[in-house]
Amino acid sequence: MDLSVIIVSYDSRFFLELCLRSLKESTNKIESEVIVIDNNSSDDTINMVESLFPYVLLIKNKVNLGFSSANNLGVKKAKGKYICLLNPDTVVPEDFFSRIIKFKESKSSIGIVGCKMIDGRGKFLPESKRNRPYTMMVLKRFIGLKNDYYFDNISKDEIGVTDVLCGAVMFMEKKNFQKVDGFDEKYFMFGEDIDFSHKVLKQGLKNYYLGDLSIIHYKGESTNKNHKYYKSFYGAMGIYYRSHIANNILNKLLSHIIIELIIFFKSFTITSRFKFRKKNKDCYLISDIIYDGLKNRVSKQINSIQKLSDKLENCEIIFDSNCLSYKKIIYAMEKFSKNNSVIFKIIPKTANFVIGSDNSREHGQVILFDLNK
């Protein structure tokens, strides 16, 4: 088998459905399998996968094992020469795997391959390519000062070698994952991708960023900024620091104290991130299909992205993937992301909901509608 796509899921039922719909289009000409490891979701994830995607190998954990352990479990089950670790809140274009496999086979000594990620507003996510942390960077990041956490030696649209890639999308040979013993399971969530990228580099392999290949990563589905988030995020940075940077026991002890203080003050100063925003002036539906259930929301319907004005502002655009390719949708989101207050949503193929995210720091929005009305 050529490819195994591995997705760790936790309470992301609707985003996972959209992700699996896009995967179906991008793997249909490749000998592949999709493995979903569900970390004891409390929503309808299990029923959705079993009823809509019976070909998916579904692993149902009775407890939340965390991101690292669940991915390691998925890789053990994988039969593919290549594996792709993918978040459930991602959307990939139809040519994603054909292009990434072609790139991998064109070069030697490749460890991990990643790509450009955009959020639900079409904005570039700089964590797509990062530097390997060192002491001053970690300290500056801990206390919120400007640092060189992100890798800027190549532009967001270029192809090149980088240190650290994002765990939301990591493509590699399965043997390279096994060679470094996979993800370190001390990391429950966050930090495991930095640690893993570091271990791959130590093998003499190179990690590549493909800036000409874009996917959507809604991101806010797993980043509620509360005490639990800060404990996971800064705790993971502490694990990395003590594993790879701290050179004596005193530094390791100090890191524990500093991290606990940062978590306390970050949690203490949590404020609501929700802001009241004016209702969008217009809602454009790009589709050939008439959806009576969306008539109250849609103000204008057109059948082509090309008919949208380049000067659109303060509007919502709904892309119908029954009529548009995911590649065209991703391209349009990047293009119109430069316009003021334009937000995007997608109707997944054969689905009765519209989905999107107006802010990468918050949970996305799902709008159900009746296909028969």
State phi, psi for 204 to the nearest 5 degrees: 85, 10
- Per the DSSP assignment, residues forming a β-bridge with 356 are 365
pLDDT > 50? residue 152: yes
278-329 pLDDT, tens digit each: 566 799 999 999 999 999 999 999 999 999 999 899 999 999 999 999 999 9
- Taking Cα atoms as reference points, which of 235, 150, 247 lies closest to residue 192? 235
Domain assignments of the chain as residue spans, ordered by start:
3-222, 227-268, 282-368
What one-letter code names the amino acid at 257? I
Question: Which residue is listed with tokens 């001390």?
Answer: 186
Cα distances (angstroms) measured from residue 225 to each of 228, 233, 269, 365: 8, 10, 11, 17
Name, in order, each residue with C-beta under 8 angstroms of 271's C-beta and a sequence gap of 6 or more.
none
- The count of other CB atoms within 10 Å of the CB of residue 281 is 12
- Tens digits of per-residue pLDDT, 72-112? 999 999 999 999 999 999 999 999 999 999 999 999 999 99
Asked if the 3-222 domain carries CATH number 3.40.50.300, the reply is no
pLDDT band at 370 (very low <50, low <70, confident <90, very high): confident
Please report which helix (H) or strand (E) contains residue 217, including its range: strand 206-217
Location of structure tokens 């989905």: 355
User: How many whole angstroms separate alpha carbon 154 and alpha carbon 175?
Assistant: 28
pLDDT above 70 for 177? yes
Closest to 53 (Cα-Cα) out of 79, 94, 91, 24: 24
Measured distance CA(14)–CA(18) in Å, rounded: 6
Section 54-79 average pLDDT: 96
Distance separating alpha carbons of residues 353 and 369, to the nearest angstrom: 6
- Confidence at residue 274, expressed as pLDDT on a 0 to 100 scale: 43
SS3 201: helix
User: What's the Rg (C-alpha) of the chain?
Assistant: 21
